[in-house]
Amino acid sequence: MKTYNAVDYFDLNSLLSEEERMVRNAVRQFVTNEVMPIIAECYEKGEFPMHLIPRFGELDLLGANLPEKYGCAGLNNVAYGLVNQELERGDSGIRSFASVQGALVMYPIFSYGSEEQKDYWLPKLATGEKIGCFGLTEPDAGSDPGSMLTRAVEDGNSYILNGSKMWITNGTIADVAVVWAKLDGEVRGFLVERGIKGYSAPEIKRKYSLRASVTSELIFDDVKIPKVNILPKSRGLKSPLSCLSQARYGIAWGAIGAAQACYDEALNYTLERKQFGKPIASFQITQGKLVKILTEISKAQLMTLQLGRLKDKGVCKYTHISLVKRNNVEMALETARTVRNMLGANGITAEYQAMRHLCNLESVYTYEGTHDIHTLIVGSDITGFPAFK
């Protein structure tokens, strides 16, 4: 296999600290050695590479920006972003696993959980010994999560949970689900453990996207959960939305990784592929496409690094994250589509990555706040008119 050359036309490498570079390089090497050789086959078979989960744990990739106290790496947000970038260079499904575990399971337990919940769950989730999922979206409540139907009712020392969740990454393989449900009309977080009566998580099969990732439905039929399993500090819709901000931040970086992978593939291919007696990279139309992609990746890289620096300073707004997620995923999707096209017929095969990234990014475009919803979030911020209310 060709050596991966991650494009960095504006030498953003020089803006990173030594640790940030080392973190990126370590994850890049891991993805090259352990993800790239297997990912096309996983994708074709529609299987998540379960054997990699302990490896994620050994390398501290899970919840990597959470404190060392809970067994995590304590990275700053830029280094955490770079982890996501490198994982998604492998596959959006691999990055999705880490995003869900870190930003949507460990982060809410860390932010809204009790000390007992944190001490019990976070170290196990950090090593990959336990797997988590996040249930907010429902069959009839997607972009409008406030309209959720899942309800919790107090019953002595328990809560009784009823309802269902949809499009849940890791659902079927999860040991614990962070489930958002209305309790007396207010959205609260609950920890629902695998195996409890009335809880099932069937896998959603027959997908054309994120095939190397488990997507599930969560069904709660009079599930009786102990009262200690509520996330005590969760209050209202802003709690799950704060988790989504964390995850979207990771996606913003991840999309760059997918685009870099496609650009690298396009450059290599067009330099080697000869037609009319010369490399197709020598044709003006090809160069135009390469330059356009390079420009868009470079713009995204600069903006995303600044987003990370703002987040590390604690002055990043959720609207900043929306703008960058919106931009980067569309950029990556367009990049993958153009590169698929540049590879000609070869581009539709599993020998190349572009089509896999292209199909994956269709999901990434939709999940964690659709492209259009992010438009409205930023639109509302700059005009004062919330179009979705």
Partner 1 sequence: MKIVVCAKQVPDTETKVRIGSDGKTIETSDVNYILNPYDEYAVEEALQIKEKQGSGEVTVLSLGPERVTSAIRTVLAMGADNAIHIKTNDTYLDSYAVSTALSEVLREMEYDLILMGKQAVDDDNVQMGPRIAALLAIPCVSVVTRLEINDGHLVAEREVEGGVEIVEASFPAIITCQKGLNEPRYASLKGIMMAKKKPVEQKTVEIAGAKLSTLKMEYPPARKEGKIVGEGAEAVPELVKLLHEEAKVI
List residues near partner 1 by CB under 8 A.
3, 18-19, 22-23, 26, 29-30, 58-61, 64, 68, 73-75, 79, 83
Task: State the minimum distance, in angstroms, from the CB of residue 216 to partner 1.
Answer: 28
Task: State the minimum distance, in angstroms, from the CB of residue 364 to partner 1.
Answer: 24
Q: Which is nearer to partner 1, 13 or 341 (CB)?
A: 13
Q: Which is nearer to partner 1, 71 or 108 (CB)?
A: 71
Task: State the minimum distance, in angstroms, from the CB of residue 23 to partner 1.
Answer: 6
Q: Does the active-site annotation cover 362?
A: no
Distance CA 64, CA 68 (A): 9
Task: State the minimum distance, in angstroms, from the CB of residue 271 to partner 1.
Answer: 14
Candidate list 34, 138, 362, 368, residue with the active-site label:
368
Task: State the minimum distance, in angstroms, from the CB of residue 71 to partner 1.
Answer: 9
Q: Which is nearer to partner 1, 6 or 321 (CB)?
A: 6
Burial 142-158 (b: 16+ CB within 10 A, else e): beebeebebbbeeeeeb
Q: Which is nearer to partner 1, 190 or 263 (CB)?
A: 263
Say if residues 341 and 286 touch (Cβ distance below 8 Å). no
Task: State the minimum distance, in angstroms, from the CB of residue 84 to partner 1.
Answer: 13
- DSSP collapsed to 3 states, the chain: CCCCCCCCCCCHHHHCCHHHHHHHHHHHHHHHHHHHHHHHHHHHHCCCCCCHHHHHHHCCCCCCCCCHHHCCCCCCHHHHHHHHHHHHHHCHHHHHHHHHHHHHHHHHHHHHCCHHHHHHHHHHHHHCCCCEEEECCECCECCCHHHCCCEEEEECCEEEEEEEEEEEECCCCCCEEEEEEEECCEEEEEEEECCCCCEECCECCCCCCCCCCCEEEEEEEEEEEEHHHECCCCCCCHHHHHHHHHHHHHHHHHHHHHHHHHHHHHHHHHHHCEECCEEHHHCHHHHHHHHHHHHHHHHHHHHHHHHHHHHHHCCCCHHHHHHHHHHHHHHHHHHHHHHHHHCHHHHHCCCCCHHHHHHHHHHHHHCCCCHHHHHHHHHHHHHCCCCCC
Q: Which is nearer to partner 1, 41 or 68 (CB)?
A: 68
Q: Which is nearer to partner 1, 24 or 289 (CB)?
A: 24
Task: State the minimum distance, in angstroms, from the CB of residue 270 to partner 1.
Answer: 19
Phi, psi for residue 123 in degrees, rounded to 5: -65, -35
Q: Report the amino acid identity of residue 162.
A: N
Active site residues: 368
